[in-house]
Amino acid sequence: MPRRPHDIGLWHEAMREVTPLRGRPAPAPANPPPPETEPTKEAAAPQTPGIGIDRANAERLRRGRWPIDARLDLHGKTQEEAHRALAAFVGRSRDAGHRCVLVITGRGLGPSGPGVLKSAVPRWLAEIELRRHILMTAPAQPKDGGAGALYLLLRRQR
């Protein structure tokens, strides 16, 4: 498998403070990769299976096969209203024992690019107070809103 420059840069960054074994030269430092201008979808929200979810359930979420227990539509809200509504919705949904919920941001496609809420919601979901309730997120299927909505798989109540 070919190595990407970004991977090599990450490796060298991780090994920066490691002392080489006696008699071995230190590896030459790599040039750091250029910063990305926009975060990728993967960086914005956890979409790969992680701790607490198996591959089959992750695939069920991506394909829209989890029953949707609750929906939140953020159309027409300001950023501040939407952020508060999202935090309250996730908390209430988890307290109610819901597992899969749908958050509708809207596509917001305009001359200046994607909508404000479509860009902001993944960042908000990555905040610690919301992230701790969420097992995984995935873009919604067209039947549930497509590019203008997200599935959230919530952690079980313990």
Q: Is residue 101 part of a domain?
A: yes
Please count the structural domains in the chain.
Answer: 1
**Is 120 a member of any domain?**
yes
Mean pLDDT in order along the chain per 10 residues (158 residues): 60 70 69 49 49 88 96 93 96 95 86 81 94 94 94 90
Alpha-carbon span 148 to 141, nearest angstrom: 10
Domain containing residue 124: CATH number? 3.30.1370.110
In this prediction, residue 107 carries a pLDDT of: 81
Q: What is the torsional sign of CA 92, 41, 118, 62?
A: negative
Q: What is the model's pLDDT at position 41? A: 44
10 domain residue, yes or no: no
What pLDDT, on a 0 to 100 scale, did the predictor assign at position 18? 72
Q: pTM score, two decimals?
A: 0.67
Residue 21 lies in a domain: no
3-state secondary structure of 35: coil
Give the residue numbers spanning the domain of 81: 52-154
